[in-house]
Structure 1
Amino acid sequence: MGLELRRDKNHNLRSKWWYGRYIINGKRHFTNLGIEVKGNAPESLRKRGDMAFECSRTLAEAKLKELVSEAHSRKTAAHHLEELYEIKAGEGIEQVPLTEMEMRWEFLPAKKPRTEQATKAQKTNIRQFREFMNERYPSVQNMSQVTRPMVLAWLTSLNERKLSGASYNVKLSVMRGLFEQLGPEAGILKNPFAGIPYRSLKTVHRQPFTEKELNAILENCDAIIRPVVLVGMCTAMRRGDCCKLKWESVDLRNGFISVKTSKTGEMAEIPLFPILRAELENRPRNSEFVFPEAEEMYRTNVHGLTWRFKKALKDAKIKNTQSDNENASVKASVKDFHSLRTTWITMALTAGVPMELVRRVTGHSTVEIVLKHYFRPKREEFRHALESSLPKALTGGIEERFDLPQAVLGIGEEMESLTPEELTKKFKALVAKVADMTDAEKEAAVLAA
């Protein structure tokens, strides 16, 4: 049993941590003790260093003794547990290596089918925990060897990285669930993640773009990202669904896109607006994907798409795209590609489009999700939408809401009975009415038509 420092060939420290080496039942162990090396380290541990160094050496020696004592106790307890288990079950306890955690998780039952995106994200969280354990506690090979102090050390490392509350909670949740479900077959006496509280959340919501900003973004997109952005603007689809859109999901004859969303697995049915329909009609069909270049980039270099959209925002001179949280290591985006989805939903609901139609387009399963995360009207637009929709008794006698499609149909029905002068007068009045409409009302008129 002894302490060690990790040095390079020039005898300089390669790590700021003390390491310990010991043997339990003939098996050698080498582990990071979690004690930081202080002061000036001598060339050899046979020599004494300064006071700060010797203090850290004393702490490391105490930690090593504690680990060895704990290892002996754990070995004895594990031996008794295995004997008891064998007597009752007639078989030995299976040990689940940390290296198998990702694979084992994938076969665990879930409340609903996991999407490819969610599976990749969760397996990444498990892998990162395994890599932390391998770096800090290399002697730990099986899940049953993971202790509460090790878990707390991992959570502390997440806090030091200044992860958002949401990211922290997701990582804690997936590891807690993994150890809970695999516990009986992995010989885990008590889930080391049990009872650890989640962090309180301060949700940062995406903000919608204005009509002027949408036009500016389109004008500054490059050839790869522009059609993807156009789809996002007109359909409220997520970026991945836009990039992976297939021709089989596009019905140009009836003017609809029908896709199963990658995140929720819900079916979304989206009408094709004229600007998007014209874009799709002019695209070549040389792949199963509508945008093969974007699909390849999403699959092989998703950061390239992120960079392109950020550049378009910058060139369009759109400001305040990130939250003002100074304590976060990475500031959350409040205006990014996903804001196109927020924009569509906000404009639709503000204009009076029924919630059921909005959910049919977005693929959301509940009203609460739409209202909580996506409905972000600005105060003036919100006020005008309410005044346009509520009875005059509540709004103070505001004139009735102008129904553009009905007005156009009305003129069409009267055309044969009107003189050219009367028809011109009615069209001028209609143009004036349209000029007074808000962007939200125009959007609603397009949807209604």
Structure 2
Amino acid sequence: MKKAGTGHLYLRGKTYWLEYVVDGKRFRQTLGTTKKAEARSKADEILAPYRAAGEADRLAIIASRIKTAKTKATTGGAVAIADAWRTFEALDTETRPDPGPATLKQYIGQWNAFASWLQEDAPAIKTLAGVREAHAKRFIEHLKGRGYAVGRVNQYKIFLRMFFRCMGIVGAVAENPFQNVKTQKAIQNSRQTFTAEEMRRIIESADGELKTLFFVGAGTGLRLADACSLMWGSTDLVRRLIELIPNKTAHLGEKAKIKIGIPRELAEHLSALPRRGPYVMPGLAAEYTGGKSADVSNRIQAHLKACGIQTVKPGTGKGTEKRAIVLKGFHSFRHTYVSMNADAGTPQATMTKLVGHGNAQMTMRYLHPTDRMVLQAADALPALLEGPKVEKVPAPEIMAPAAEVRALVETLTTKNVAKVRAQLLKMLEG
């Protein structure tokens, strides 16, 4: 294992980049120079905190950098392209967004892509203040030329507009070069749903942890990250319930927690599994959280293809000149889960809470599905495997007449929220 604070330089075109590993995660970033000596100096500066003898020394280095970066930015000093990301990152969160780890990683990649392109396209531009709208437009054309979809290009536009806006607030740039670079309307290529027969084929032909993963996806609608990292501590097989905070909304804390009913077939499958640690699927959990999520996704897609399922739009992907447009993948289990519950009559309010989606309607903020409601949703799903058919006992009607609910909601004020919430829950539970 490499010592902390080590990394290596490499060339992309004529520009030096740095690759290093921190806490098991690999990072790459441009150093914005074609000179090796200058690249080494910048690499040493980046890696200095990780080479510190102790935590106190590391924090002292970081604090010194933040102070220097803030002073440079607030005094309107020129910010070099090579120093721009560190300067942006050092801004307080009242000036810039404070994204989660996944979004931050995306931002770093987008900035590095722009900085690297700028070094090749306009090497004379050394500071942020030198970037003009013409550069912004040429960069967007560069992305389109690489075959990026409209939605992905829009992400770059939105990020870079935000980046330069924040740097403008602290005086690093006078004008935002991306201000007039508008986003385009993207055609959404939503994942298609699986048929019940396709789901059975996918699950029955899989084995090991992959079988469990597909079973969990089909029976709960969890996203891939949440399914792979599902823990026994979140899974109550006696009550047939899963309670967890999705990775995507983890920054919201406890208020983002969701509760999902476990279908009987899935509960039986999970009950038969050996418990080798905190994770339901320890191998997949280690792989997915260890930086190999792409390998997991590739195995999933390979299995779907082996099941005779068309996973990408014809004429796109491998062997063509167009980027793959995915039609069906693991996320299709989530779409299928929602669609089948809707067909079975699961109330929309319950579904909103089950899948952890936000909802603008005020009453939805205060409604929480009961155990009976989420189990009704679980039992509404069709059989996931072939076998003896178990006759389902019709679930009791738990929804109040729409007119009564509407009348009650119309009385809602900021002062009687708790009272109305209690009445709504009572009506829903019968």
Task: Give 1:314's aligned amino acid.
Answer: K
Aligned residues: 290
Q: 1:99 aligns with which of 82, 89, 93?
A: 82
Structure 2 CA distance for partners of 1:357 and 1:102, relative to 1, 3 Å: farther
Q: 1:215 aligns with which of 186, 200, 209?
A: 200
State the shift of 1:328 in Å: 7.4
Out of 323-332 and 152-161, give the one that drifted further: 323-332
Q: How does 1:61-76 map to 2 (within 5 A)?
A: none
State the shift of 1:287 in Å: 2.3
Q: 1:273 aligns with which of 255, 263, 278?
A: 263
State the shift of 1:104 in Å: 4.6
Does the aligned pair in 2 maintain the 1:117–1:262 contact within 8 Å? no
SS at match of 1:170: helix
Q: 1:240 aligns with which of 209, 222, 225?
A: 225
Task: Give 2:267's aligned amino acid.
Answer: R
Q: How does 1:50-449 map to 2 (within 5 A)?
A: 92-106=75-89, 108-109=93-94, 114-265=99-250, 266-298=256-288, 299-319=290-310, 321-324=311-314, 329-366=322-359, 405-406=393-394
State the shift of 1:273 in Å: 1.3
The residue aligned with 1:21 is: none
> Which sections of structure 1, spanning at least 5 residues, go unmatched?
1-13, 16-28, 31-90, 369-402, 409-447
Does the aligned pair in 2 maintain the 1:161–1:329 contact within 8 Å? no
Whichever of the two has the greater Rg, that structure is: 1
The residue aligned with 1:440 is: none
1:216-268 C-alpha deviation (Å, 9 max, x unpaired): 11123342422112111111110011111122222223221111112234322
Structure 2 CA distance for partners of 1:170 and 1:209, relative to 1, 3 Å: same
SS at match of 1:269: strand
SS at match of 1:263: helix
**Distance between the aligned counterparts of 2:335 and 2:95, measured in 1?**
29
Does the aligned pair in 1 maintain the 2:95–2:169 contact within 8 Å? no
Structure 2 CA distance for partners of 1:103 and 1:356, relative to 1, 3 Å: farther
Task: Give 2:291's aligned amino acid.
Answer: T
Does the aligned pair in 1 maintain the 2:228–2:285 contact within 8 Å? yes
State the shift of 1:161 in Å: 1.2
Aligned sequence identity (%): 22
Structure 2 CA distance for partners of 1:341 and 1:110, relative to 1, 3 Å: farther
Structure 2 CA distance for partners of 1:104 and 1:255, relative to 1, 3 Å: farther
Structure 2 CA distance for partners of 1:176 and 1:316, relative to 1, 3 Å: same
**Distance between the aligned counterparts of 1:111 and 1:183, measured in 2?**
11
**Distance between the aligned counterparts of 1:225 and 1:109, measured in 2?**
44
State the shift of 1:195 in Å: 1.2
Does the aligned pair in 2 maintain the 1:165–1:199 contact within 8 Å? yes
State the shift of 1:166 in Å: 0.9
1:44-68 C-alpha deviation (Å, 9 max, x unpaired): xxxxxxxxxxxxxxxxxxxxxxxxx
